[in-house]
Amino acid sequence: MSQGSRKPVSEDTLGFVYGLAAYGVWGLFPLYWKRLDMVPATQILAHRIVWAFFFTLTLCFILGRKKELSALFHSPKRLASVFVASLLITVNWGIYIWAVNESRIIETSLGYYLNPLLSAAMGAFVLHEKMDKGMIVAYMVAGLGIIVLTVSYGQLPWVALTLASTFGVYGLIKKMAGLDALTGLTVETGAMFPFALAFILFQQKAGIGAFGYMGIMGTTLLLLSGLVTAIPLLLYASGIKRLALSKMGFLQYISPTTQLLLGVFVFGEVVDLPQGIAFGFVIMALLIFGFTRRRRKVLLA
pLDDT at 46 (0 to 100): 96
Taking residue 53's Cβ as centre, other Cβ atoms within 10 Å add up to 25
In 3D space, the residue among 255, 277, 264 whose CA is nearest the CA of residue 113 turns out to be 255
181-205 vs 41-62: helix crossing angle, rounded to 10: 140
- Going by pLDDT thresholds of 50, 70 and 90, the confidence category of residue 94 is very high
Check whether 220 has a pLDDT greater than 80: yes
Taking the C-alpha atoms of residue 47 and residue 8, their distance in angstroms, rounded to an integer, is: 40
Q: Which residue has the higher pLDDT, 177 or 48?
A: 48
Answer whether residue 149 shows pLDDT above 70: yes
Name the pLDDT band for 72 (thresholds 50, 70, 90).
confident
| pLDDT at position 11 over 60 | yes
Please compute the mean of the pLDDT values over residues 109-114 and round it to a whole number. Answer: 83
Residue 174, phi then psi, degrees to nearest 5: -60, -40
Phi, psi angle pair for 170, to nearest 5°: -60, -45
Residue 183's Cβ-side half-sphere holds a number of Cα atoms within 13 Å equal to 17
**pLDDT at residue number 1:** 47
**At a CB cut-off of 8 Å and minimum separation 6, what does 218 contact?**
35, 36, 38, 39, 210
Q: How confident is the model over 167-203, as pLDDT tens digits?
A: 889 888 887 877 777 888 899 999 999 999 999 999 9
Question: Over 80: is that where the pLDDT of 156 sits?
Answer: no
Between 82 and 1, residue with greater pLDDT: 82
Q: What is the CB neighbour count within 10 angstroms for residue 216? A: 8
pLDDT at 290 exceeding the cut of 80: no
Name the burial class of residue 130, with classes exposed (0-12), middle (13-18) and buried (19+) by CB atoms within 10 angstroms of its CB: exposed
3-state helix, strand, coil in the chain (%, to 5): 80, 0, 20
Of 34 and 248, the one with more pLDDT? 34
Helix (H, G, I), strand (E, B) or coil at 213: coil
Pairwise CA distance, residues 113 & 203, whole Å = 35
Mean pLDDT of the region 150-179: 83
HSE value, Cβ hemisphere, 13 Å, CA-based, for 187: 24
pLDDT for 71 equals 82
What separation in angstroms does the CA of 290 have from each of 44, 114, 124, 287?
36, 14, 16, 5
Helices of type H across 28-104? 29-33, 41-62, 66-73, 76-101
